[in-house]
Amino acid sequence: MAKFTSTPNRCVIVDGEELWISRSVTVLAIVVVVCDGNAYVPLNKRGPDLPSEVGKWCLAGGYLDYDETIGGAMLREVWEELGLDLKEIQANHRLVGSLDQPSLVFSEPRHSQNVTMHYPVMVFLSQGADLPPLNPQVSKGEVTDVGWFELEKALEMELAFNHQEILRRCLSNEFAKIWPASCLT
């Protein structure tokens, strides 16, 4: 079972203003799993305790904790929001992508974040293996539901934070040589 020792970000109120003690960086895991020739995406539904995009499905991701690496944050977020241990999956199946370094550093001015590290990872499960079970490790206030979605269906959904377009970009760029482009049309 995955274990993490990072210090969670925390909120303080100063003169009535909400300030976060954190490194204002987020990580986003763009995970695609190929099982028996079909591609699936694990998504989680944002819970009522989150500040935005509540009730929408999304890719796993979140803020970098104060004392962790960006790769460690990505692994932790996938574990917390989906219950997937990517290191264990990598040990038993073929994984394409890096668990340590992002493929893209993305910045968009918003009031909740300013820099996101994208981690596209494609896993090819061993022949006969089933999709791993999804079991979030956080409260229902953060993640209300999880599920495996066929890649084509995920691309048609209106995901939180425009994640369907981020997924599409990864398929056109990082995964272009290892997965057919026909799913993009």
Residue spans of the domains in the chain: they are 23-174
Better pLDDT: 20 or 140 = 140
Contacts 24+ apart (CB under 8 A), 53-59: 53/160, 53/161, 55/144, 56/158, 56/159, 56/160, 57/147, 57/149, 57/157, 57/159, 57/160, 58/159, 58/160, 58/161, 58/163, 59/28, 59/29, 59/30, 59/31, 59/159, 59/163, 59/166, 59/167
State pLDDT tens for residues 89-132.
999 999 999 999 889 887 765 555 568 899 999 999 999 999 99
Fold of 23-174: Nucleoside Triphosphate Pyrophosphohydrolase (3.90.79)
Is residue 12's pLDDT more than 60? yes
The pTM assigned to this predicted structure is: 0.84
Residue 80 pLDDT level (bands cut at 50, 70, 90): very high
Chain-centroid distance, C-alpha 172: 18
133-182: pLDDT as tens digits: 999 999 999 999 999 999 999 999 999 999 999 999 999 999 999 987 65
Measured on CA atoms in the order 113, 23, 144, 156, is the torsion positive or negative? positive
Phi, psi of 118 (to 5 degrees): -95, 130
